[in-house]
């Protein structure tokens, strides 16, 4: 199996064109399926039925919704910058398709008589290319919010840019350990380096940090703060309708597939057969079978997105940003130092000279410790309850709760009082008014 970069760049023009067309068609069909799948899974989680009318099992519901959006009236706000308003959805959706150009789907195969890798192209810095192109899409969200002429849309765009900066730093740091362990930034070579053991096991903290960061990167629940309907109506796409809104929707689901495919490539062995099936089946990693393993792993991550949306409430914005800067990034830096130390120790022969155990064992052990530390940060802290002096109610009275903090601001302490506990002359000892 040829995993060298020399295998790329030799295809004829029609092979490149056909590969590009197939990637486009696969992503569009995958988006239609993911929308239907999300609605069905969330419906089952909420004891509902979900779409089941259009097509078998409701599979054509997503297509019907797309046609409906196409025929809706396309509105442009009077205060909008029309050129930027129209270009913003295009800027979002084009990078979403381009990032899949360096994702490996399988090994070299016979493609209509031509021997070619199941990958459009590759380069020595392919992972950095994916992150660079994906970060361009954020400009479309910011420009869409700014050009709408709406305060809600502008705030949604600003939130999205701050969110991208925060969590893309953590995501990039998580990938540094992968680069050090694989010795390459090429996606095909990273997949080849996981032939024996997946990086998701050896580099567990990187895997966990990447999973958290990728949810924040694509603005999905519980990190969908740029679209918080309780605060910003609809966020950056509040003023959009018809096909321009559909492009934002399309980009979100393609970005879900992109980060899932990247997680599969970097941490779960890419197109390699799971559970070491290739040890009992020699042809598991040959021909077009790896497509099955690759898309199975991608759908596993997408199911995780759906599960999170149906399970967790949206975070508060300050909690979300504090978690990214104060938790994810420091732990990612500590993990990079640990990985670099272990690599240097192995290269210096420390493990061969009787240093306890296998280096992979120590990597997994340190990784578990850091993941446990990360999970403990997610546990909410208990706030100490301030005891309130309670007086026994007088006969015939009933308790009234203390005044809120606003009373203290005005300089008046608010003890717990009781109706009927009054000192006026028209109240009897029983607490009942004579009037």
Answer whether residue 402 is part of any domain: no
> Which among 71, 88, 105 is the end of a domain?
71
Same domain, 61 and 81: no
Same domain, 128 and 62: no
Same domain, 50 and 118: no
Same domain, 54 and 171: no
Q: Checking phi first, is residue 113 left (phi over 0); if not, alpha (psi -120 to 50) or beta? A: left
SS (H, E, C) the chain: CCCCHHHCCCCCHHHHHHHHHHHHHHHHHHHHHHHHHHHHHHHHHCCCCCCCCCCHHHCCHHHHHHHHHHHCCCCCCCCCCHHHHHHHHHHHHHHHHHHHHHCCCEEEEEECCEEEEECCCCCCCHHHHHHHHHHHHHHHHHHHHHHCCCHHHHHHHHHHHHHHHHHHHHHHHHHHHHHHHHCCCCHHHHHHHCCCCCHHHHCHHHHHHHHHHHHHHCCCCCCCHHHCHHHHCCHHHCCCCHHHHHHHHHHHHHHHHHHHHHHHHHHCCCCCCHHHHHHCCCCCCCCCHHHHHHHHHHHHHHHHHHHHHHHCCCCCHHHHHHHHHHHHHHHHHHHHHHHHHHHHHHHCCCCCCCCCCCHHHHHHHHHHHHHHHHHHHHCCCCCCCCCCCCCCCCCCCCEECCCCHHHHHCCCCCCCEECCCCCCCCECCCCCECC
Same domain, 116 and 90: yes
What's the pLDDT tens digit per position in 114-129?
A: 888 999 999 999 999 9
Same domain, 152 and 293: yes
Answer whether residue 153 is part of any domain: yes
- Tens of pLDDT along the chain (435 residues) come to 445 687 787 888 999 999 999 999 999 999 999 999 999 999 999 899 888 888 888 899 999 998 988 888 888 888 888 899 999 999 999 999 999 999 999 888 888 888 889 999 999 999 999 988 988 888 888 888 889 888 888 888 888 888 888 888 889 999 998 998 888 899 999 999 988 888 988 888 899 999 998 888 888 878 877 776 666 666 788 888 888 888 988 988 999 999 999 999 999 989 998 877 877 887 888 888 999 999 999 999 999 999 998 888 888 878 888 888 888 888 889 888 888 888 777 777 665 544 455 666 666 777 777 777 766 666 555 555 555 555 555 666 666 666 665 444 444 444 444 444 444 444 444 444 443
Same domain, 32 and 115: no
Domain count for the chain, please give it. Answer: 2
Answer whether residue 172 is part of any domain: yes
pTM of the model: 0.80
Closest CA to 35 of 69, 11, 65: 65
Same domain, 90 and 58: no
Domain extent at residue 60: 27-71
Same domain, 118 and 267: yes
**Which residue's structure tokens are 């492009």?**
247
Answer whether residue 152 is part of any domain: yes
Answer whether residue 223 is part of any domain: yes
Buried b (16+ CB within 10 A) or exposed e, 47-60: eeebbeeeeeebbb
Same domain, 58 and 155: no
Using CA atoms, how far apart are residues 243 and 69, in angstroms rounded to an integer? Answer: 6
Same domain, 302 and 238: yes
Which whole-number Å values give the CA distances from 184 to 116, 152, 347, 372, in the listed order? 21, 43, 17, 29
Using CA atoms, how far apart are residues 176 and 181, in angstroms rounded to an integer? Answer: 9
Buried b (16+ CB within 10 A) or exposed e, 134-156: beebbbbbbbbbbbbbbebbbbb
Answer whether residue 250 is part of any domain: yes
> Which among 315, 342, 376 is the end of a domain?
315
Same domain, 153 and 46: no
> Which among 299, 315, 331 is the end of a domain?
315
What's the pLDDT tens digit per position in 189-213?
A: 999 998 888 898 888 889 999 999 8
Answer whether residue 339 is part of any domain: no
Answer whether residue 18 is part of any domain: no
The radius of gyration computed from the CA coordinates of the chain, to the nearest angstrom, equals 28
**Which residue's structure tokens are 């980009």?**
251
| CA–CA–CA angle 124, 166, 198 (5° rounding) | 45
Using CA atoms, how far apart are residues 257 and 33, in angstroms rounded to an integer? Answer: 11
């Amino acid at each position: 199996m040829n995993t060298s970069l020399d295998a790329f760049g030799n295809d004829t023009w029609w092979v490149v064109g056909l590969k590009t067309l197939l990637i486009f068609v696969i992503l569009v069909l995958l988006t239609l399926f993911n929308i239907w799948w999300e609605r069905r899974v969330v419906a089952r989680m909420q004891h509902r039925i979900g779409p089941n009318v259009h097509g078998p099992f409701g599979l054509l519901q997503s297509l019907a919704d797309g046609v409906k959006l196409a025929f809706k009236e396309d509105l442009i706000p009077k205060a909008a910058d029309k050129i930027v308003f129209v270009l913003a959805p295009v800027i979002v959706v084009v990078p979403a398709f381009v990032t899949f150009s360096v994702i490996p789907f399988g090994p070299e195969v016979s493609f209509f008589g031509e021997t070619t890798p199941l990958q459009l192209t590759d380069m020595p810095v392919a992972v950095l290319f994916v992150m660079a192109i994906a970060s361009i899409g954020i400009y479309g969200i910011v420009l869409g919010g700014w050009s709408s002429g709406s305060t809600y849309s502008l705030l949604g765009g600003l939130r999205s840019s701050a969110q991208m900066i925060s969590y893309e730093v953590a995501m990039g740091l998580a990938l540094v350990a992968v680069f050090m362990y694989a010795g390459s930034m090429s996606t095909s070579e990273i997949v080849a380096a996981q032939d024996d053991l997946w990086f998701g096991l050896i580099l567990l903290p990187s895997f966990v940090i990447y999973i958290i960061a990728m949810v924040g990167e694509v603005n999905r629940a519980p990190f969908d703060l740029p679209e918080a309907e309780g605060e910003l109506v609809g966020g950056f796409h509040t003023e959009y309708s018809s096909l321009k809104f559909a492009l934002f929707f399309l980009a979100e689901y393609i970005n879900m597939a992109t980060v899932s495919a990247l997680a599969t490539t970097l941490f779960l062995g890419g197109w390699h057969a799971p559970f070491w099936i290739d040890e009992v089946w020699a042809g598991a990693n040959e021909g077009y079978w790896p497509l099955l393993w690759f898309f199975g792993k991608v759908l596993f991550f997408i199911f995780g997105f759906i599960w999170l949306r149906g399970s967790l409430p949206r975070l508060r914005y300050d909690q979300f940003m504090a978690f990214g800067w104060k938790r994810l990034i420091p732990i990612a830096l500590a993990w990079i130092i640990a990985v670099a130390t272990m690599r240097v120790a192995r290269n210096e022969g420390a493990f061969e000279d009787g240093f306890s155990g296998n280096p992979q064992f120590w990597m997994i052990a340190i990784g578990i410790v850091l993941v446990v530390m990360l999970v403990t940060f997610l546990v909410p802290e208990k706030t100490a309850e301030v005891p309130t002096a309670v007086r026994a109610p007088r006969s015939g009275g009933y308790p009234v709760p203390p005044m809120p903090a606003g009373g203290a601001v005005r300089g008046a302490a608010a003890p717990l009082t009781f109706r009927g506990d009054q000192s006026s002359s028209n109240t009897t000892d029983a607490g009942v008014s004579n009037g």
